[in-house]
């Protein structure tokens, strides 16, 4: 089964692309000074890819392992595996620049083929970048400092291997895309319940490698909480981890693989908890007078329950703009205050019980119920934001997101510091932004903040953003937050990640990498901080 | 504040020791052939400890760091830090043998003192064994293959450093014993909710280092789920981990420290989630016709809820003997079938709601409610079993426990295989055992099994047990279970742990250890499998 390809220089299904409504274009012009883009995006046929740098004979070696049909070095295959889906990634592709294109794309069909590819590449010092859905927004697919590299596209490894109905677990192959996984599990009456915004295109292996968090993680758990066993191929052999849900037999090595972003191995099998498909779902909206008041209400639910499966809170700006409901952008304003969205899933009885319990808590915390409307609108449009970004880029605007998490008592300072950093940097560059934020995930001890930034592209959108992102990242680390709650580290966050885990933490990661990947071929430059920091790009 | 010492050659508070009732002695004689011990235990003053092997000047160096009063090399201090509390540990001490005594006991007062001690010991190649409550039952305090070693007793680091009421977290020092931690938190209205059987003596640092699981972990989470941040001292510097409850910034390095058993560093600060002290508690008993039927009922609660805070199920033998209620041993038989104990904690409303919900599930699964009596009896005696072991040893019996976990579909085979291995090995050695088991912890995808073995001591109890334990451990690994769900790896489980994580997993652990402890002074021989397996002791 051939997996459908995503729009090569944007997001998702090409048929779903749609221009911005005219009133929004007017609003962007009046509010942010957005002007139409000077030139349309370059066509795929006109993208320039570098000459292949693979050593002679490498393609033949790889074809011997996976079969001729499964090694591809044509321009389109290479362009389609170039970088990920950050706005900067897209802007560069739209301008026709693909210097980070892999030298070839290799599609293994089995764990043993992955092992053999890794060994062959280690012997020839060819870097390997595991490729699932290709949805990284943190530079996780653009290795640094390599001579030549292949994208290891796992789409052929897309089986639901088995379901254990007694243990309620399923064994999934890494290349299975999330919607296909849900469809296969649904035939047996189960769901993963993992719905990040990248859901429609992301892969199971990617979820594990990126330590993914979904929109319903309050109810179903983060992906790292769902994984009970893993198989990982490395140039030095295989890791098979997980014999019980929990163990006291040493450190939890599964948690060393989850979040390893292809730098420590290629995940070839994932055993996850599954749950019966919920009989009932209910989504609803609530309004709070302020982000602080709404945040306190969410904290109550996170600490004392009942906790909905989905729980989000937009700040005043995001609520006003209506990004909580992307389809409403530029339409009727969503009203004052801050919009919260709650989603309940489970048996009808449990949904009713939790919904009533949560309503009591939210009312006592000052919330005003808005009924099902805003919740259902959100659920309907939950995967649409990346499409909206394409339309914004087409219209000459710049749009990007970043996210972080902290303990509850640090959240207010984190919110203020990141907003100030983004606003200051972009305003200083002559492209004053609209900065919006929502609480995307809650825990008993803390929460995550998800920021969306829209501005004019200006003369150098990538440069402007690089500076703003750097200021925001500094603010995050200085306030004590984590550099990413769900996007990951990649290459973009690596320097701040190094500050987060400290020199000894970084040294530990390097020691692990050196052991499983002595030739250093696995996603070089991604995740693992170098011993001597590279000279930072100044973006000037 | 000086912490009270535990009984040096047994368990717990010396004042609480009590002999077995005469009817139990008769029962043990008739059932298992238990005969009175030939000699009483050796007095502390008669225990032989080896000459100190510390290099000259070492004590002076260490005293310079922590102060004269906090370096101890007297016989009693050394004996009190010899090994842990496994039955074999106790039998050897009772016979007056303390060849594993540390050469000195060092009591640091701060993180910086710990760092300095580690550096000084690394420079002199003196091994360091972190010592919290001293409750290891897996040889975690008896290093292998060392010239000289010090016990690093953390009892002076016993502060509740801070409570963050907004984030509901608390910063605790590692030497704080669990009851003291609960008392300090209770002054602020909070509880950890962590109650392993070792609760009365175990320390916070030990909970973290051993990846501890408590009797109420279904409700409050395992200790590894409670920890949100950690500080660790290593010979190569400090690790400071945890800026948010959850993160996608790389692998969760906290999970590499949790379960590291002193082999990768000394935990000097632990930030944990805390919860309001529950307003209501309700414990109750249920009876099931068989272990399989009861297991299926527990699985329902674990997978579909409502989940009690405490959930346990004794098999037929344990129920009959009444070990589910140690105070009843040898008294009235507890009746046929299998006894389950449920405990609910929280607000009165929530307790009532969950209790009613659980009752519906258990009734539908064939359970018969026994009311509060058996639950309250269990709760009252929940920390008594180790005292009972001392009485059994005094009476000439042998008693020991082991535990494992697996996915639900493997649990029945695991149960049968371990029982058969224990029964076969001990019967073959001429000391036919009573083998009892209970499900101690449940998860959506699996459960843990906790076995208790009682037999006559025979001529060589340590040798008999070593063989039986080896047979049981082989059975666990062969069936696919984990070698420990909550006791840990130590030295006793290390060879099976190596099989569990495979050669590459072991190599990864060694790489981490080599990086943070290049001189190899941290708890040598504990946890980390050697590159070349040592010749196994045969126990013959």
Dist CA B113 CA A424 (whole Å): 44
Torsion sign, CA atoms B203, B207, B208, B210: positive
> What pLDDT is attached to residue A516?
98
Dist CA B419 CA B397 (whole Å): 19
pLDDT in tens, A521-533: 999 999 999 998 6
pLDDT in tens, B146-176: 889 999 999 999 999 999 999 999 999 999 9
Is residue B323 very low, low, confident or very high in pLDDT (cuts 50, 70, 90)? Answer: low
> What pLDDT is attached to residue B327?
53
> What pLDDT is attached to residue B4?
72
- Best B168, B220, B249 member to test A by mutation, with max A CBs in 10 Å, is B249
CATH classification number, B160-276, choose in 2.60.40.10, 3.30.930.10, 3.30.465.10, 3.60.15.10: 3.30.465.10
> What pLDDT is attached to residue B535?
54
Element (H, E) at A438: strand A434-442
- Binding-face residues of A in 403-442 toward B, CB within 8 A: 404-410, 441
Place of tokens 């993680």: A217
- Binding-face residues of A in 181-240 toward B, CB within 8 A: 210-213, 222, 224, 228, 234, 236-240
**Are A422 and A468 contacting, i.e. CB atoms less than 8 angstroms apart?**
yes
Neighbours of B68 (CB within 10 A): 11
> What pLDDT is attached to residue B533?
64
Q: How many residues does chain B have?
A: 540
Question: Which residue in B has a C-alpha nearest to residue A495's C-alpha?
Answer: B249
Cβ–Cβ below 8 Å for B249 and A409: no
pLDDT in tens, B392-401: 999 999 999 9
Q: If you average pLDDT over every residue of chain B, what do you get?
A: 94
C-alpha angle with apex A338: A332 to A340, nearest 5 degrees?
100
**Are B270 and B230 contacting, i.e. CB atoms less than 8 angstroms apart?**
yes
Nearest to A152 by CA among A138, A141, A160, A137: A141
| Helix locations, B213-347, DSSP H | 217-220, 223-226, 254-257, 291-304, 316-321
Nearest to A155 by CA among A201, A194, A215: A201
Q: How many residues does chain A have?
A: 540
CATH architecture of B41-153: 2-Layer Sandwich (3.30)
Residue B384 region by backbone torsions, left for phi larger than 0, else alpha for psi between -120 and 50, else beta: alpha
- Tell me whether residue B23 is exposed, middle or buried, using C-beta atoms within 10 angstroms of its C-beta: 0 to 12, 13 to 18, 19 or more: exposed
- Is pTM beyond 0.90? Reply is yes
**Are B326 and B317 contacting, i.e. CB atoms less than 8 angstroms apart?**
no
Report the percent of chain B where pLDDT is more than 90.
Answer: 89
Is residue B324 very low, low, confident or very high in pLDDT (cuts 50, 70, 90)? Answer: very low
Nearest to A450 by CA among A107, A213, A205: A213
Coil, helix or strand at residue A113:
helix
List C-alpha distances in Å: B307 to A345, A402, A529, A536, B296: 17, 36, 42, 51, 14
Neighbours of A179 (CB within 10 A): 12
Beta strand pairing call for B266-273 and B310-314: unpaired
> What pLDDT is attached to residue A327?
53
C-alpha angle with apex A45: A39 to A47, nearest 5 degrees?
60
pLDDT in tens, A316-362: 999 998 754 555 544 444 568 999 999 999 999 999 999 999 999 99
- Best A244, A292, A441 member to test B by mutation, with max B CBs in 10 Å, is A244
pLDDT in tens, B66-123: 999 999 999 999 999 999 999 999 999 999 999 999 999 999 999 999 999 999 999 9
Nearest to A272 by CA among A231, A332, A327, A318: A231
Q: At what angle are helices B111-124 and B58-66 packed, to 10 degrees?
A: 170
- Best B164, B227, B236, B247 member to test A by mutation, with max A CBs in 10 Å, is B247
ipTM: 0.95
> What pLDDT is attached to residue B39?
84
Measured in angstroms, the CA of B392 and the nearest CA of chain A are apart by 27
Cβ–Cβ below 8 Å for A250 and B497: yes
Dist CA B70 CA B152 (whole Å): 10
Q: Which residues pair with B177 in a beta bridge?
A: B203
Measured in angstroms, the CA of A285 and the nearest CA of chain B are apart by 25
List C-alpha distances in Å: B132 to A275, B39, B178: 40, 31, 11
A–B CB contacts, 8 A cutoff, strictly below? 275
Residues in Cβ contact with B217 at an 8 Å cutoff, skipping those fewer than 6 apart: B194, B225, B441
**Are B54 and B103 contacting, i.e. CB atoms less than 8 angstroms apart?**
yes
Tell me which chain B residues have a C-beta less than 8 angstroms from the C-beta of A504: 234, 236-239, 516
Eight-state DSSP code of residue A61? H
A14-153: which CATH topology?
3.30.43
Among B246, B275, B441, beta carbon nearest to A443:
B246
Q: Is B244 on the interface with A (CB under 8 A)?
A: yes
Dist CA B64 CA B71 (whole Å): 10
CATH classification number, B280-380, choose in 3.30.70.3450, 2.30.40.10, 3.30.70.3270, 3.10.450.50: 3.30.70.3450
**Are A215 and A223 contacting, i.e. CB atoms less than 8 angstroms apart?**
no
Q: What is the mean pLDDT of residues B483-505?
A: 98
**Are B264 and B517 contacting, i.e. CB atoms less than 8 angstroms apart?**
yes
Measured in angstroms, the CA of B248 and the nearest CA of chain A are apart by 5
pLDDT beneath 70: ranges in chain A: 1-3, 323-335, 533-540
Q: Is A73 on the interface with B (CB under 8 A)?
A: no
Tell me which chain B residues have a C-beta less than 8 angstroms from the C-beta of A515: 507-508, 510-511
- Tell me whether residue A510 is exposed, middle or buried, using C-beta atoms within 10 angstroms of its C-beta: 0 to 12, 13 to 18, 19 or more: middle
Dist CA A106 CA A99 (whole Å): 19
Among B210, B245, B408, beta carbon nearest to A445:
B245
Dist CA B495 CA B477 (whole Å): 11
Cβ–Cβ below 8 Å for A246 and B405: yes
pLDDT in tens, B11-45: 988 888 888 989 889 999 999 999 998 788 999 99
Dist CA A203 CA A209 (whole Å): 10
> What pLDDT is attached to residue B532?
80
> What pLDDT is attached to residue B330?
46
List C-alpha distances in Å: B526 to B153, B188, B495: 17, 37, 10
Kindly report, as residue ranges, where domains of CATH 3.30.43.10 are found in chain A. Answer: 14-153
Dist CA B254 CA B232 (whole Å): 10
- Binding-face residues of A in 261-280 toward B, CB within 8 A: 261, 264, 273, 275-276
**Are B203 and B136 contacting, i.e. CB atoms less than 8 angstroms apart?**
no
Tell me which chain B residues have a C-beta less than 8 angstroms from the C-beta of A162: none
> What pLDDT is attached to residue A128?
98
Q: Within 13 Å and on the Cβ side, how many CA atoms surround B52?
A: 18
Cβ–Cβ below 8 Å for B508 and A516: yes
Among B237, B259, B486, beta carbon nearest to A504:
B237
Report the percent of chain B where pLDDT is more than 70.
Answer: 96
Coil, helix or strand at residue B324:
coil
Nearest to B226 by CA among B240, B239, B207, B243: B207
Beta strand pairing call for A280-288 and A397-407: unpaired
> What pLDDT is attached to residue A321?
86
């Amino acid at each position: 089964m051939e997996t459908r390809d995503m729009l090569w220089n944007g997001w998702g299904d090409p048929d779903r692309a749609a221009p911005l409504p005219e009133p929004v274009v007017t609003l962007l012009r009046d509010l942010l000074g957005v002007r139409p883009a000077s030139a349309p995006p370059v066509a795929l046929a006109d993208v320039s890819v570098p000459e292949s740098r693979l050593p002679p004979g490498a393609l033949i070696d790889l074809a011997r392992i996976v079969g001729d049909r499964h090694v591809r070095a044509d321009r389109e295959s290479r362009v389609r595996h170039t970088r990920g889906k950050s706005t900067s990634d897209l802007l560069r592709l739209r301008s026709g620049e693909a210097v980070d294109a892999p030298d070839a794309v290799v599609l293994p069909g089995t764990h043993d083929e992955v092992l053999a590819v890794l060994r062959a590449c280690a012997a020839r010092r060819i870097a390997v970048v595991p490729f699932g859905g290709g949805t990284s927004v943190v530079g996780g697919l653009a290795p640094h400092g390599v001579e030549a590299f292949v994208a290891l596209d796992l789409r052929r490894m897309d089986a639901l291997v088995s379901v254990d109905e007694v243990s309620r677990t399923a064994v999934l192959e890494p290349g299975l895309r999330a919607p296909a996984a849900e469809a296969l599990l649904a035939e047996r009456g189960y769901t993963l319940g993992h719905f990040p915004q990248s859901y429609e295109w992301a892969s199971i292996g990617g979820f594990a490698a990126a330590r993914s968090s979904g929109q319903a993680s309050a109810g179903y758990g983060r992906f790292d909480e769902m994984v009970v066993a893993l198989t990982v191929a490395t140039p030095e052999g295989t890791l098979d981890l997980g014999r019980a849900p929990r163990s006291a037999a040493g450190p939890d090595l599964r948690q060393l693989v989850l979040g390893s972003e292809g730098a420590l191995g290629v995940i070839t099998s994932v055993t996850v908890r599954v749950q019966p498909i919920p009989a009932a779902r209910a989504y609803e909206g609530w309004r709070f007078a302020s982000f602080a008041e709404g945040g306190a209400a969410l904290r109550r639910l996170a600490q004392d329950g009942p906790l909905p499966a989905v729980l989000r809170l937009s700040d005043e700006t995001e609520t006003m703009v209506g990004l909580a409901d992307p389809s409403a952008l530029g339409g009727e304003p969503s009203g004052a205050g801050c919009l919260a969205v709650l989603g309940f899933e489970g048996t009808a009885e449990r949904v009713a019980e939790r919904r009533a319990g949560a309503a009591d808590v939210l009312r006592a915390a000052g919330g005003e119920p808005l009924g099902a409307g805003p919740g259902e609108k959100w659920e309907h449009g939950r995967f649409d934001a990346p499409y909206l970004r394409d339309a914004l880029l087409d219209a000459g605007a710049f749009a990007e997101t970043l996210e972080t998490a902290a303990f509850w008592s640090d959240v207010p300072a984190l919110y203020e510091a990141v907003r100030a950093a983004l606003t200051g940097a972009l305003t200083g560059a002559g492209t004053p932004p609209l900065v919006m934020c929502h609480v995307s995930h809650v825990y008993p001890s803390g929460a995550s903040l998800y920021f969306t930034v829209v501005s004019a592209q200006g003369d150098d959108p990538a440069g402007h953003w690089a500076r703003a992102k750097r200021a925001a990242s500094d603010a995050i680390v200085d306030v004590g937050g984590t550099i990413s709650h769900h996007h990951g580290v990649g290459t973009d966050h690596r320097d701040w990640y190094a500050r987060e885990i400290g020199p000894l933490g970084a040294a530990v990661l390097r020691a692990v990498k050196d052991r499983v990947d002595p030739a250093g071929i696995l996603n070089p430059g991604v995740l693992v901080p170098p011993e001597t920091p590279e000279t930072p790009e100044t973006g000037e």
